[in-house]
Structures are given as C-alpha cells and as structure tokens.
Chains A and B, each alone.
Chain A
Amino acid sequence: MVRGITPAALAELARTLTATHDVFAPRRCGDRLVLDRLASAGAGELPWNAYRLPEPLKAIWFQPGRILARWPRRDGETAPRPRVLFGAKACDLKAVACLDRVLRDHEFKDPGWCAARESTLVVAGDCTDCAESCFCSMLGDLPYPTGLFDLCLSPAEGGYLVETGSERGERLVADHAGLFSDAAPESVERRADARAELAARVRRQNERFPVRDPFEKSVSKHDRTRIWAELAATCVECNACNMVCPTCHCFLLHDVRAGDAALRLGLWDSCFSAGHARMAGGLTPRLQLTERFRNHYQHKFVAFPRNWGITACSGCGRCIEACMGRIDKRECLHKLETRWIPSEVAQEID
C-alpha cells in the first residue's frame, strides 16, 4: 500500500530513529549535498537529493579501511548498531545488488557486508532530476527504485508518497503509524507520469552516445585491439574512477600489529594501480596501463555479467565526474561499439 508523509513528519521519523539507529542522510554542504550521519539534535527537514549523492553506498557498508578480523579471535563482539540510510537512488541499489553477489550470495561471505546489509533500513527515493553524467538509461535501468529498499519516497504534493518494499518497511510504518497518512490515488498516478518523464530525460541526454549492442559484445571484440591506448590516452592513473565507483570492490588485505594482537584490515584498492596484481619477484600481469584500462571494462561489462548475471555498472556517472583526464565512460562504450578496424588488431603475443 502506498502512503503519504509530510517533510516535517519524515524529519521527525529520522530523528526518532537516531535514538536506536545510526541514521545516514543527505546533508547540505555549501551548494552540494553529501551523505553524512544525522545528529540527534537539531530540527529542520531532511534535504531531498534529486539524484544520487556523490558518495557511493559502499562508503558506509564496505568502508575504505575496515577491520576484517582480529587475531586472536575475540569472542562476544558487540553487534553493530542498526542503521537507517536515507537518500539511496535506483543506481545505488543496483550497485548493492552487484556487491551482494560478490560479498554475500556464494560460498564465501563477507561478514561485515552481510551484517551491515542485514542491520540497515534503506529509505530510497525516486530521481527527480539527473546529473549531466547520469546514464542509467544506457544500461537499460530506470531512475526509480524497483527493489532492495525498505521504504521508497516519491515527492508528491505536500510531501512524499511512501511505498514499502519489505516486511521490515511495513513494520517501520506500523510502528510510526501516526506520522503517515493515506495517499491520494491521483498522486500515485502523477508519480507514474513523473517517473516516465525523468526516464525519458535521461534517455534524451544520452542520445549523443547511441549504443545498440550489449556492452559485453562491444568490449570483448576489443580483447586484442589497440583501441585501449586511445581510450586511456589522458588517464593519469589517479584511481579516482574506481574509488568512487559503487560496484568496485577490490581491496588490499593489510595486516598490522595492535599491541599483542593483530588486526586484519581491508583497504580499498584499485585495479588501475600498477602494483595491484604484482607478484613475488616483481612480475605484474598487467604491466601496461592499457591492459589495466581494458581490465576495468572487461571486468565490469564482460566478466561480471558472465559470473554473476548482472553488469557491474549502474550508469551512475560518478567515474565521469571524478576523472582527471576527462574520460567519459559513455564515449568509451560508444567507441568500443562503433569502432572496429581489423587492421588495429595487435600482434598476438600468445
């Protein structure tokens, strides 16, 4: 059932939850919005993020430097405080679906990720605007959440429509029933129109990068061509694209001493750095930048769909905004599809 909530009631809900949860929500910072922990005190409405925030959600569930294990084992560790996350968009949730595959849904599980997912209420929202870099449409995705949320907010007259996406979400609404109202049927219709309109806008803004083929095909056909040198020409190997990417999950398992004990840390890492796959003796499988550049595309658009049935790119455009070399993933994907010059095939090495 779809309900309604006013901005003031939503703010009250968020602040009530701070008593029992760590609440993460958009916060105004200059002329930007950032994802931050909400203080319990203070009044005022929660700012509405019209599209995804600058931070990928992995920043709170798969932190840049997290403790993976303590040695020796310490029993009776306290469970993490439950969390609530406001401001998630469709592309954020697609990235969560990708990371769930790698970190949860197979024989090995990342306990930190599983616990964080389990203990976080996700309050997602429709996109009501898009950044210039947004290209979820090119991945065949839509700019409103269709799953993996507990509550989903859509702006409507006088506040928001609230859709529940899980039992947990239903319970949350039931526990704070006084804050919610019934939704008018017209506003539910208007939500569908607004969603369709924004989806069309995202499509339109990406018409300049027409692609027809599945990216898996466009990328694999360049397995051995020299196009990568051209695409990577302005890459300065800063690793920013991987750091901001919500689906990138490479990490360095780093061991440190802590008194008599030892800590095992997971530090964000990037396949763009030359030492990433370095082996003993100094041999590096992808010594050339062009090979590492290709690997980034190969992993997201070929390996990931083959292994996990989903493309490891949500079209969030963060890598486009972060790139010091002004490399636009859409342009690269477009070139990969349209350019196919047999004479470019590099001499096979093996």
Chain B
Amino acid sequence: MRNDFLPMPALVEDVIVETPTIRTFVLQLAEPMPFRAGQFVQLFLPGVGEAPFTPSSSPSEPGRIEVTVLAAGRVTAALHELAAGAEVGVRGPFGRGYPLHELEGHEVVVVGGGVGLAPLRSLLYTLFERPGFARRVSIKYGARAPQELCFRSQYADWAARPDVDVTTTIDRPSAGWNGRVGLVTTLLDGVDVDVRDACAVSCGPEIMLKFVARKLVDVGFRAEHVFLSMNRNMSCGMGICGRCNVGSRYLCKDGPDLSYAEVQAVPYALG
C-alpha cells in the first residue's frame, strides 16, 4: 500500500535569495508531482521536521517545483541553511487549489502580503498561461519595507502583459522609496474593476486577510467572490491529524482557500 506519510526524495537544485528573510528553493523531484495552483506540498527535512508550502512555480512544470519560504521558526530556519545539492523530501500535493472555475471570465484582483505573494505567483503563472481566461488581472501587493518585496525583478514583466497591472506598497516610509506607502488595504480604495462581478484572491497574514476581506466587501465585492488562503497549522495534509479545521472543514482537504462567505459562516474563523 502507498504510504502518504513517506516523502518523495527531492534535490535542491538552486537557492534564490529573494529578500533578507525569504528564499526560493528550486526542487528537482524524483518523479513529477502534478499539482494545481494553490495546492500545497509538505517539505520534509529528514529528522528535523516538515512544513507546508504552496509552490510558487507554475503547475506546467510538475517535476521541478519552486517553493518560496519565509524564515519563520524552527523548520523554516533549518531550510534556510540549505544550499544547492541538499536532499529533502516532498509530500503532496494536498488541498483543493485555487477555485479557477470561479475566476474564469471575471476580472481578478490578486491581493498579497509579504511571503503571501509566493502561493499567488503560481496562480499568476496559471492565468498568464491562459490568455483571456481572466478578463483582467490586477495585482495589489504590500510588504513591510522595500527590501521585503518578493519577486521584485518580475513586476515589470508582469505589468507589461496585456490586461495585467501591478501596484505595490510598503507599510512605512523608507529612504529611497518613491512608491506608495500604507497597508495593502489602501490599494483597494477605489479599485477600478467592476466590483459586483470581479473576484479577489488573497494570501497573507491572518490579520491582513481579515481587513482585506472587509475592505473588499465595503467597496462592493460579493463575499462569495472573495477567496482567502486561510492560515492554519497543517501537518498530515490528509484530514487525519485534526489541527487545520475551520468549522466542519479540514483546510488541508477542502482548502486552504475558502470564500469570505464560507469563512463568515464559521464562528471566530478570522481571529
């Protein structure tokens, strides 16, 4: 019988330093692992532990995936010590992935905070690879400081695509920064999409999700069209270990992305 607790071997092919606290690991998998944008994997360090990450690369390359990792604690700190050539393990993919069918034919506002842009990048690649699938892609991204902005070198390329725009902001003024200042929610005031019809997909810290969701509904989005990557501790990925539930759902199986309408139906789901 297949053992879903046993990771598949993978080789760290390259390590890209994105920001002082975020690195992207390019992984060559022993076998391709087909996944949908928004599905996550468990990255395993033998004898150390495991942590969940949503690949930041395109699902069209299932044998060579990238995960973008913020150093946030024990396992992620150990991952940041790795150099090219290291052997790790990968399990997955887990979860439902982004609700692409909901996005088809709509304007899509993508709202990211910090390392939250990493999972969203695989959605962006998916949308970019299917011209016309979304009527428009409007990217709103915030980080604490200019040097914390992830994937900085790519924004110009993204914005050069037809029907794609990118706006970034940083939390506090910083020397040499001429862009916008303020929380990512400030980018949503007067957002120029047809709010009654548009969809939004957001990933970032829980507190950010809460205010992004409220703001989007305030400016006219329908709660059913706002999708949030819910933050929960995930371990088994299979609906067994019992730590990732939001109400009756196990986010590792039914998520991690839920619509704001689904989230509101569960008491105290967003802090």
A residues whose Cβ falls under 8 Å from a Cβ of B: 68-73, 102-103, 106, 108-111, 114-115, 223-224, 249-253, 255-258, 261-264, 266, 269, 271, 276-281, 283, 285, 291, 295, 298-299, 302-303, 306-307, 349-350
Complex A-B: 16 CB contacts under 8 Å: A71-B47, A71-B89, A251-B240, A252-B235, A252-B241, A253-B241, A264-B5, A277-B232, A277-B243, A281-B205, A291-B268, A298-B247, A350-B210, A350-B268, A350-B269, A350-B271
Interface centre among A271, A285, A303 (most CB of B within 10 A): A285
Contacts between chains A and B (CB distance < 8 A), count: 122
Contact A111 B1 (CB under 8 A): yes
Write the B59-99 contact mask toward A (1 if CB under 8 angstroms, else 0): 00000000000001100100000000000010000000000
CB of B160 closer than 8 Å to a CB of A: no
Q: Return chain B residues, CB-CB under 8 Å to A269.
A: 241-243
- By beta carbon, the residue of chain A nearest B234 is A279
Q: Return chain B residues, CB-CB under 8 Å to A224.
A: 267
CA of A283 to CA of B73, assembled, Å: 12
B92 to chain A, nearest CB (A): 11
B5 to chain A, nearest CB (A): 4
Q: Return chain A residues, CB-CB under 8 Å to B269.
A: 350
With contact pairs A249-B240, A249-B242, A350-B264 given, residues A109 and B4 touching in the complex (Cβ less than 8 Å): yes
Contact A253 B235 (CB under 8 A): yes
B42 to chain A, nearest CB (A): 9
- By beta carbon, the residue of chain B nearest A62 is B240
Contact B236 A253 (CB under 8 A): yes
Contact A255 B47 (CB under 8 A): yes
Chain B: interface secondary structure?
loop
Contact B248 A302 (CB under 8 A): yes
CA of A263 to CA of B6, assembled, Å: 10
Write the B224-255 contact mask toward A (1 if CB under 8 angstroms, else 0): 00000001110111111111111111100000
Q: Return chain A residues, CB-CB under 8 Å to B13.
A: none
CA of A248 to CA of B139, assembled, Å: 43
Contact A108 B243 (CB under 8 A): no
- By beta carbon, the residue of chain A nearest B236 is A253
Q: Return chain A residues, CB-CB under 8 Å to B235.
A: 252-253
CA of A73 to CA of B247, assembled, Å: 36
With contact pairs A72-B9, A224-B267, A350-B264 given, residues A277 and B241 touching in the complex (Cβ less than 8 Å): no
- By beta carbon, the residue of chain A nearest B250 is A307
Q: Return chain A residues, CB-CB under 8 Å to B173.
A: none
CB of B50 closer than 8 Å to a CB of A: yes
Q: Return chain A residues, CB-CB under 8 Å to B7.
A: 69, 71
8 Å CB interface, B93-152 against A: none
